[in-house]
Amino acid sequence: MAASADLEDLCRNNHQLSENTLPVVRQSLLDWYDKHQRGLPWRQPSGVQGTARPAAHGQHDNTKAYAIWISEVMCQQTQISTVIEYYKRWMHAWPTVADLAAATIAEVHEIWAGLGYYSRATRLLKAAQQVVNDHQGLMPTTKAGLLKLPGIGPYTASAIASIAFNERVGVVDGNVIRVLTRVQAIASEATNDKVTKLLWRTVDMLADTDRSGDINQAVMELGATVCCPKKPQCEACPLRKICQAYQTKTRRQEAAGHACAFCHGAKLQVVEYPVKKKKKASPTQHVAVAIIEAGDYVLLRKRPATGLLAGLWAFILREVDDNHDREQHQLQLQEETETLIGSLKTTFKRHGEVTHVFSHLKHVYHVFTASLRERTVVQDRDDLCWQPKADVLRKAVSTNMKKVWQLSQGTLPVKAKRTSSVAKPLSKPITKFFKPAEDTL
């Protein structure tokens, strides 16, 4: 056992930053970040851009913590270029934790609609209410305290604690994983438990400084704008002189006959890091959709409080077989609708199909419309409503239903038929964000 432990320590040491290298790496990252960081709205002094409320005296850190929290949750699985406008609308509606805590779930979903992963928005509201009720409206100042809030995991807690309160803790997200697996030539799957522990150990060592928040943001920024997945700008990277992937060197286990747990002796190109686990094909479900119209209104139904797209509004849905039997789909939709509003004396018109891909599931929607002479009464049901057609896209309706609506109206962009809920990496030209970096290592 001792020999095995010693071997693992040797493997790990071959793939982590040395004590002598750490200070130089920190300074290089900070120098680069000070010059080239993007002017994102949550990095403003108050964290609130476009609102009329300045932070109250003594509440600057709490305001910043709230801003970092919202931005970090929004940026999960979503391009920053998309997030910015959502963030501004959110902060205009709820500039403080207390403002958010007083909101309704319907209001929160309406602002969030289009970002996907709606359970995140629900947990934001619950956590804000907990901060107000249990912490007098003040965000916890430590990673340990933040982890007790709904929806806040190790990454988000570390980001808030380090950036807002300068706690010396590191962060590990997709950008950080990409940078460190390349710098340290870690060719094992990034989800491997040993690799995960090594990455957290490395970032905690890097963040052991008076500017822990800036260090964390520097590594994330480097991964987002320079150390990109497919087209890394290695010549602009302040760490290129110690980057093992860039230098095309391999750290091999010195003990003959033993494979390194972190690289297996592999020699990869820069773009091949991090090594990813092969994904299983997402299952496909077929769903028939009925858009029930009555004059200038359409019928919407609220989804259950749990499960996929919980609590959001949708058209009438029915999971169906993938046999493309139009008549069968129509009968199933008529049956589903009649259980809600009574007998239908109308015919259904088919508009085609539209596909939407979630992170774990693909839906193929078979879209139909039906017109009624007048709206039926739904006042005794809070899960049904007649929505003006002009306001459908402004309701708390998810992206997949917006695509269904656009197909029925003939306004669906061709590329939207294969739009995914999982955002693509940032791909703006690198020159838009910074000048070439100086040699710092």
438 is known as an active-site residue:
no
Tell me the backbone φ, ψ of residue 382, rounded to 5 degrees: -90, 0
Do 174 and 143 contact (CB within 8 A), yes or no?
no
pLDDT digits (tens, 9 = 90+) for 65-102: 999 999 999 998 788 999 999 999 999 999 999 999 99
Longest dimension (CA), the chain: 82
pLDDT digits (tens, 9 = 90+) for 209-236: 999 999 999 999 999 999 999 899 999 9
Q: How far is 222 from 232, CA to CA, in rounded Å?
A: 10
Q: How far is 296 from 290, CA to CA, in rounded Å?
A: 16
Q: What is the pLDDT of residue 52?
A: 32
Could you tell me the pLDDT band of residue 266, with boundaries at 50, 70 and 90? low
Could you tell me the pLDDT band of residue 248, with boundaries at 50, 70 and 90? low
pLDDT digits (tens, 9 = 90+) for 422-441: 333 333 333 333 334 444 44
Could you tell me the pLDDT band of residue 265, with boundaries at 50, 70 and 90? low
pLDDT digits (tens, 9 = 90+) for 163-218: 999 999 999 999 999 999 999 888 888 888 889 999 999 999 999 999 999 999 99
Q: How far is 182 from 188, CA to CA, in rounded Å?
A: 11
Torsion of CA 392, 384, 365, 421, to 10 degrees: 60
pLDDT digits (tens, 9 = 90+) for 368-413: 999 998 888 776 678 888 989 988 877 777 888 889 999 999 888 8
State the catalytic residue, choosing from 72, 110, 221, 293.
Answer: 72
**In the numeric block, which tokens belong to residue 330?**
């129509």
- The rounded percent of the chain whose pLDDT value lies above 70 is 80
pLDDT digits (tens, 9 = 90+) for 340-370: 888 888 888 999 999 998 877 899 999 999 9
Mean pLDDT over each residue of the chain, to the nearest integer: 81
Q: How far is 222 from 238, CA to CA, in rounded Å?
A: 9
